[in-house]
Amino acid sequence: MNKHFLKTLPAAVALALSASAAQAALPIDFGGYIRSGFGTSSEGGKEACFGLAGASSKYRLGNECETYGELKFGGEAFKAANGTTFRINTLVAFSVNQNQDWEQSDPSWREMNVVADKIGTGAFAEARAWVGKRYYDRQDVHITDYYFWNNSGPGAGLENIDLGAAKLAYAIVRTADDGDSKRMGLSHDLRFSGIKVNPDGELTLGLQFNQKRNAQGAAPIASGHLLTIMHTQGNLLGGFNKVALQYGKGSAANTGGFSLGAGKDDKVVRLTEQIMIQPKGAWSGMGTFVYEDKETAGVSSKWTSIGARPVYHFTDNYSLAVELGHDIVKPEGGESRNLTKLTIAPQLSAGNSFWSRPVLRAFYTYAKWNKAAQSAAAAESALSSTGVFGGKTNGSSVGFQVESWW
């Protein structure tokens, strides 16, 4: 992709949407997310980032070695007299190594869809229909960037159908093989949300069924299913608690979607817990716990993660964040790998909330791991004996980072 195209891409998207909006006489909105920074390790070179082989996430604060961004352009394309609206949504994402001034990156079109809202009467009075490529109702733990429930991609669906005791959503999402157009799977995603079970608490129940849709002569793929039970407790010390229990089999033995390379006997059991608090006073924070028991190609592995990020707000704009996280991976027949990471980060932010952004940070990160983690690490990575820390099993980084969403 040439430089001229990358420079004109945002303008082209905005121009196309502006033309549509002009026809409907409605404004265009712009949103997004960015993070960027730089640093150095205790051994020299650029900042090191610490992640454990076999763990599905890492603790983020002072531990992100890339510049990443998402740019969102959207707007209402049409609004009918009966209240039905049609909205265009686009999102382009990019990531570079934050090594120098000019760094080439081919953008990724993560979202390109249209959502029709308030499409009927009765149970469909507040319902929505959508078609296109979409982030679909993703559930994550912010301090680890761990999307434990994520069935995103090109698809279509109906959502927010009022059943009285619950809201119903159905989506069908396609996953195709980049290298073989004959290999394809469909994920049928059924969710019941907003089920009131206690004061300020509600359940979400999810069933995903993966259907094989290979053409004749294609390499085989596996069907599968993913079951999810999630409880969200609101109004908890100014925040919330969210716990999810999941069981997946076959091509759905993951966090959602369709794994084309999975076997029919692959399976996963996962418990994800997170709590976010913002009580009256100077403190806020988030904590998380994950336990996952996974079997892939007949080999099992257990992953346990526990960590927290408390933040003390000195004033409306100045705060100190501390993040401590510990991961353990126990592969079948092998030694347990472990990694502990601690970060201290003074912050200048646009407000005194845990979620206040933009935020400018300085950080110091220290990590310690064992020999089993070192042996399993990818070559040249921070934990590897061929990485910047060599045969050591500890190391640190210092640096600066900005993070924002809007």
Q: What pTM was computed for the model?
A: 0.92
Could you give the CA distance from residue 190 to residue 113 in angstroms, rounded to a whole number? 20
Give pLDDT, residue 27: 83
CB contact set of 287 (below 8 Å; sequence gap of 6+): 274, 275, 307, 308, 309
Mean pLDDT by 10 residues, the chain (406 residues): 44 49 66 98 98 98 98 95 97 97 94 98 98 98 98 98 98 96 97 98 98 96 98 98 98 98 98 97 97 97 98 98 98 97 98 98 98 98 98 98 98
42-405 is a CATH 3.40.228.10 domain: no
Give pLDDT, residue 4: 44
Give pLDDT, residue 12: 47
Q: Which amino acid is at 316?
A: D
Q: In the chain, where are the structural domains located?
A: 42-405
